[in-house]
Amino acid sequence: MKSRIAPPSRPKLLGKDGEQIARQFLMEKGYKILQTNYRSRLGEIDIICQDSTTIVFVEVKTRSSETFGTPAAAVTGGKQKKLRLLAQEYLIARGREDQPVRFDVLSIFLSSRGTEIDHIIGAF
């Protein structure tokens, strides 16, 4: 019996493209990527990196149109709360809970005009 696996949806592909662009952008800025797509029962953190001595938890939002608003507008209060809990879990598991942390948002807009990146440092 053959099983069929559905190809990734357009939004998932767009999200993966955005995360790849985000990683490259951060590395070019001198950030050290520690982990991508950190998952736990609470959810997922797109990128965890280090900027000097600060651990940075990065939420990447990618859009190809503004039909549903700007990419950064999708990082709601509920999403922020979940990211804080995930970050706390990550830090405790690694014995790094005393290290300075920051939450950034990388808002990526992909269109026929090119790629626009808005790096919101200390977004919440």
How far is the C-alpha of 7 from the C-alpha of 44, rounded, in Å?
21
Is 3 domain-assigned?
Answer: no
How far is the C-alpha of 84 from the C-alpha of 78, rounded, in Å?
10
Take residue 52 and report the two structure tokens written for it.
């000097």
Residue 17's pLDDT is 87
CATH number for the domain that contains residue 116:
3.40.1350.10
For 33-89, what is each residue's pLDDT tens digit? Answer: 999 999 999 999 999 999 999 999 999 999 887 777 788 888 999 999 999 999 999
- Note down the domain range covering 49: 10-120
Residue corresponding to tokens 């804080």: 84
Residue 113's pLDDT is 84
pLDDT at residue 114 greater than cutoff 90: no
- For the chain, the average pLDDT equals 88
Is 51 domain-assigned?
Answer: yes
Is 15 domain-assigned?
Answer: yes
Residue 77's pLDDT is 93
In this prediction the pTM is: 0.85
